[in-house]
A = this chain, B = another copy of it.
Amino acid sequence: MLGYAFMGHAYSRALQALRDLDVPFVPELVSISGRNAEALERARELWGWAEVVTDWREQVADERVQLFVNGGPNAVHAEPTIAAARAAKHVICEKPLGRTAAESHEIWQETARTGVQHLCGFNYRFVPAIRLARELLEAGELGEVVHFRLRYLQGWSWDADPGAWRFDPDQAGTGVLGDIGSHAIDLARYLVGEIANVSAGVRTIVPGRRVDDHFVAAVEFENGVLGTLEGSQLARGRANSNAFEINCANGSLAFDMERLNELEVADKQGFKRLLVTEPGHPFMRFWWPHGHIIGWGETFVHEVAHVLEAIAGEHPVAPHGATFEDGYRCSEVIEAILRSAREGRREPVAFG
Contacts and interface: CB of A to CB of B under 8 A. Distances in A.
A47 B22 CA distance: 9
Contact of A216 (B226, B259, B288): B226
A268 B155 contact: yes
A310 interface: no
Given A16-B19, A20-B13, A294-B297, A271 B273 contact: yes
Interface string A260-293: 1100001111111111011000000001111111
Interface string A4-46: 0010011011001101111000000000000000000000001
A200 B199 contact: yes
Contact of A200 (B202, B218, B252, B266): B218
Contacts of A86: none
A240 B248 CA distance: 17
Nearest to A260: B293
A345 to B, nearest CB: 4
A237 B270 contact: yes
Interface stretch (A62-70, A74-82, A98-106, A146-154): A146-154
Given A156-B290, A271-B272, A293-B295, A235 B259 contact: no
A88 to B, nearest CB: 28
